[in-house]
Amino acid sequence: MIVVTGGAGFIGSAIVWKLNLKGIDDILIVDNLGRTEKWKNLVNLSYKDYIHKSVFTEKLLNNKIENIEAIIHMGACSSTTENDADYLMENNFHYSKTLAEYALKNDIRFINASSAATYGDGECGFSDNINNIENLKPLNMYGYSKQLFDLWALDTGAVDKLASVKFFNVFGPNEYHKDDMRSVIVKAFYQVREAGCIRLFKSYRPEYPDGGQRRDFIYIKDCVEVISRMLENHGINGIYNIGTGKARTWNALAKAVFAAMGVKENIEYIEMPEQLQDRYQYFTQAEMQKLSDEGCNIIYTSLEDSIDDYIKNYLQQNDIYL
């Protein structure tokens, strides 16, 4: 059995979708549905059972769940603006560490979701080389909570027995429930539909023009292909980036949205909220050589083709789910 924590969430449900495509449905989904719309991500998926995360932990630690082959741990608070540090410390760090320790003790494949938010303002670069990890300074508590797990893995030697993956800017179907944390592609799509324009943040650094801030955007379908290969190859252990290795501007993203929708370009630049100005990443670009050296060579979908697929086959079809 494969356990997917956060299995009703954006990346987690996409991983279950990928597993289903490979004929795998002996899956236990762990999540906290609450009053959210995440349950809709599960409708098209095939899996054996769903269990609340608190019940899962209790049963797991009391050895009441048997025959676990792998734990793909995508469950976490993913809000970069969450300011409850104690909640993030418990939910993102301690919970992850507990699951990892159990997996290692019981010889279970463990894949953990880290984040590119650990890289902070990029001053130390975007290398997933182990020697670089300790130097990173995240700009927000979310990134710091992810950094703590990676540091724990390094300090204990667990890093050689598990995979912790730093997701860059992921977008695609099944993110509809994320409200303000949805990708800019979704927000831009509805802005164009409702107002005929796309609103992007102004730049507050002279080296970046408005809309010229650059991010490494990666399509969800490419992300889950990487996770699938890691699941197949237990020898891929360590801390790895998951991005395309190619930074693109917000302006390029906006143009791709207009092109996919067949609408004339109309970009409006707006002020960035003051609370974000000192925590904003102006540039991210994953270094992907380390993953490639492990034989995990993915032909990543271009930003334009990804957005075209997302808009035409999902957003314009009333938010079709994977």
- The per-residue pLDDT for range 17-41, each reduced to its tens digit, is 999 999 999 999 999 998 889 999 9
pLDDT at 105: 96
Q: Residue 127 in 3-state DSSP?
A: coil
Within a domain: 17: yes
Per the rule left: phi > 0, alpha: psi between -120 and 50, beta: everything else, 107 is: left
85 confidence band (pLDDT: 50, 70, 90): confident
pLDDT at 31: 96
Within a domain: 313: no
pLDDT at 204: 93
Phi, psi of 62 (to 5 degrees): -100, 15
CA 258, 259, 260, 261 dihedral sign is: positive
Give the distance from CA 168 to its chain's centroid.
7
Whether the pLDDT of residue 308 is over 80: the answer is yes
pLDDT at 285: 95
pLDDT at 309: 98
Whether the pLDDT of residue 52 is over 90: the answer is yes
233 CB-side CA count, 13 A? 14
pLDDT at 86: 85
pTM recorded for the entire structure: 0.94
pLDDT at 159: 96
Whether the pLDDT of residue 307 is over 90: the answer is yes
Summarised one tens digit per residue, pLDDT across range 182-236 is 999 999 999 999 999 999 999 999 999 999 999 999 999 999 999 999 999 999 9
Look at residues 322, 167, 160, 295 and name the one whose alpha carbon lies nearest to residue 229.
295
Within a domain: 105: yes
Residues 214/166, Cβ–Cβ less than 8 Å? no
Q: Residue 141 in 3-state DSSP?
A: helix
pLDDT at 1: 97
Whether the pLDDT of residue 78 is over 80: the answer is no
Instruction: For residue 31, give both structure tokens.
Output: 């999540």
Summarised one tens digit per residue, pLDDT across range 124-150 is 999 999 888 999 999 888 999 999 999
Average pLDDT over residues 177-185: 92
Average pLDDT over residues 7-16: 97
pLDDT, greater one: 277 or 243:
243
**DSSP sequence for 272-322:** PPGGGTTS--SB-----HHHHHTT----PPPHHHHHHHHHHHTGGGTS---
Residue 123 belongs to domain spanning: 2-171+217-246+283-300
Within a domain: 86: yes
Summarised one tens digit per residue, pLDDT across range 150-166 is 999 999 999 999 999 99
Give the distance from CA 186 to its chain's centroid.
16
Average pLDDT over residues 253-263: 98
Domains of the chain: total: 1
Within a domain: 107: yes
Reply yes or no on whether 142 is catalytic: yes
Within a domain: 258: no
Share of the chain above pLDDT 70, in %: 99
Look at residues 251, 255, 182, 258 and name the one whose alpha carbon lies nearest to residue 211.
251
Average pLDDT over residues 104-110: 97
240 confidence band (pLDDT: 50, 70, 90): very high
Average pLDDT score, the chain: 94
Reply yes or no on whether 264 is catalytic: no
pLDDT at 170: 97
Phi, psi of 70 (to 5 degrees): -155, 150
Average pLDDT over residues 173-187: 94
CATH number at residue 51: 3.40.50.720
Within a domain: 262: no
What end-to-end distance do the CA atoms of the chain give, in Å? 21
178, 187, 246, 290: the catalytic one is: 178
Within a domain: 229: yes
